[in-house]
């Protein structure tokens, strides 16, 4: 053992320092009696004063989060069968704080090869677990963003080699099977020169770039996309990788076109509120029966059919001063139009 202190208590002080730096503690465990010996560091890990409890496995188990206790119920059986045990679980210390602990326990055989004792080490891995959770949450959010905008997100190395597709629409899953593709390999040959020029310029000035191009599909055809990528810089200011997003323009235009020809009940209600119109006033202005207007307003979704009546409602309200909005990936809405001084929407 490396002893970093001097004097009679050097070994103990070295152990104390090591446990403090690692936020760890160790123990020995008599499997026959369930009696245990805990180091100072283990008491501190559990938030307990030395001497406040008699160390044994029951007291050890009390510190484990109730939801994690059952998963540790086989530890003794594994040790008796000479298996090493490594587990992560949550503990609740005496102050009520929850911490993540990693435990490493090894069986110790006696002279007759019977395992009746074990020794172990516990250390606090809370920060590591929180970092993992943050990373997982970021990945989920990235995928959700991709679904929201019907887009393909990707990461590429500094040289343009694709390293990951965090978010892929179902029809683009074939890209996952490609081995280390270059971004330009996925672009239509006629668009590669422009894409390369945009990428090189962005690389030189270390700024984002965006460009419209055609992207290959599973059947070998190409569809129009808009791609934007931002460089991720190292502490020294060098480009480490690119984070990009590509939006299917054909799908976006289809959705936009479909939305513009429709109305939702919530749009009609909101437009009436802006104009301060009653159902009867809207009926008079549009020529649509009041009963039909009320039926349309019952749904928050796009109203199916009735194209002529919906067109009449939309035209009447538009002429009165309401603008109906449709944004790709967003909800349809309404807003007042901008009027010249002295004019009135109603």
Answer whether residue 264 shows pLDDT above 70.
yes
Distances (CA, A) of 21 to 18, 68, 131: 5, 26, 20
Q: Are 7 and 56 in contact (CB under 8 A)?
A: no
Q: How far apart are CA 195 and CA 203, in angstroms?
A: 12
Q: Are 151 and 247 in contact (CB under 8 A)?
A: yes
* pLDDT for the residue 257: 57
Q: What are the pLDDT digits (tens) for 182-232?
A: 788 889 999 999 999 999 999 999 999 999 999 998 888 998 998 999 999
Per cent of the chain over pLDDT 90 is 47
Nearest to 78, CA basis, from 138, 120, 130, 36: 120
* pLDDT for the residue 4: 53
CA 292 to chain centre: 44
* pLDDT for the residue 136: 81
Burial class for 301, CB neighbours closer than 10 Å (0-12, 13-18, 19+): exposed
Q: How far apart are CA 280 and CA 9, in angstroms?
A: 93
CA 320 to chain centre: 44
3-state secondary structure of 236: coil
Taking the whole predicted model, whether its pTM rises above 0.85 is answered as: no
Answer whether residue 118 shows pLDDT above 50.
yes
Q: What are the pLDDT digits (tens) for 36-83?
A: 999 989 999 998 888 889 999 999 999 999 999 888 889 999 999 999
57-66, 287-296, 336-345: least confidently modelled range? 336-345
Q: How far apart are CA 36 and CA 119, in angstroms?
A: 9
* pLDDT for the residue 200: 92
Q: Are 166 and 154 in contact (CB under 8 A)?
A: yes
Q: If you search the block for the tokens 């040959």, which residue do you land on?
A: 189
3-7, 11-15, 95-99, 313-317: least confidently modelled range? 3-7
Between residues 206 and 340, the one the model is more confident about:
206
- Give helix 307-320 / helix 279-286 axis angle, nearest 10°: 100
Between residues 13 and 266, the one the model is more confident about:
266
* pLDDT for the residue 261: 59
Distances (CA, A) of 76 to 32, 84, 336: 10, 10, 71
Q: Where are the alpha helices (DSSP H) in 261-301?
A: 265-275, 279-286, 290-296
Query: Residue 276 gets which letter from DSSP?
Result: T
Q: What are the pLDDT digits (tens) for 129-163?
A: 998 888 888 777 766 766 665 678 888 999 888 88
Neighbours of 230 (CB within 10 A): 15
Q: How far apart are CA 37 and CA 55, in angstroms?
A: 6
Domains parsed from the chain with CATH numbers: 10-124 (3.30.450.20), 130-254 (3.30.450.20), 261-336 (1.10.260.40)
Answer whether residue 253 shows pLDDT above 80.
no
* pLDDT for the residue 344: 39
Nearest to 203, CA basis, from 236, 228, 238, 155: 238
Going by pLDDT thresholds of 50, 70 and 90, the confidence category of residue 8 is low
């Amino acid at each position: 053992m490396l002893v970093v202190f001097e004097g009679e208590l050097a070994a103990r002080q070295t152990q104390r320092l090591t446990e403090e730096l690692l936020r760890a503690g160790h123990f020995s465990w008599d499997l026959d009696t369930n009696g245990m010996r805990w180091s100072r560091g283990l008491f501190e890990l559990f938030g307990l004063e030395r001497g406040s409890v008699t160390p044994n496995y029951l007291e050890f188990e009390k510190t484990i989060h109730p939801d994690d206790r059952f998963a540790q119920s086989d530890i003794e059986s594994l040790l008796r069968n000479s298996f090493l045990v490594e587990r992560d679980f949550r503990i609740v210390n005496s102050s009520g704080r929850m911490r993540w602990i990693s435990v490493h326990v090894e069986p110790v055989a006696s002279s007759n090869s019977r395992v009746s004792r074990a020794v172990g080490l516990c250390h606090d891995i809370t920060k590591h677990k929180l970092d993992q959770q943050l990373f997982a949450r970021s990945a989920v959010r990235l995928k959700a963003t991709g679904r929201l905008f019907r887009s393909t997100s990707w990461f590429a190395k500094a040289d343009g080699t694709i390293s990951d597709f965090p978010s892929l629409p179902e029809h683009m899953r074939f890209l996952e099977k490609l081995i280390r593709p270059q971004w330009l390999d996925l672009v239509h040959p006629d668009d590669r020169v422009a894409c390369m020029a945009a990428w090189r310029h962005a690389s030189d000035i270390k700024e984002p770039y965006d460009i419209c191009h055609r992207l290959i599909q599973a059947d070998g055809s190409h569809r129009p996309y808009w791609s934007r990528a931002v460089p991720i810089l190292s502490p020294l200011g060098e480009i480490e990788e690119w984070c990009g997003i590509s939006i299917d323009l054909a799908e976006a235009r289809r959705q936009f076109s479909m939305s513009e020809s429709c109305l939702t009940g919530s749009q009609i209600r909101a437009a009436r509120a802006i104009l301060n119109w009653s159902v009867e006033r809207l009926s008079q202005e549009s020529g649509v029966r009041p009963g039909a207007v009320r039926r349309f307003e019952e749904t928050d979704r796009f109203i199916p059919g009735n194209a002529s009546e919906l067109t009449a409602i939309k035209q009447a309200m538009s002429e009165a001063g309401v603008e109906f909005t449709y944004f790709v990936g967003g909800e349809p809405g309404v807003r007042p139009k901008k009027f010249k001084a002295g004019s009135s929407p109603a």
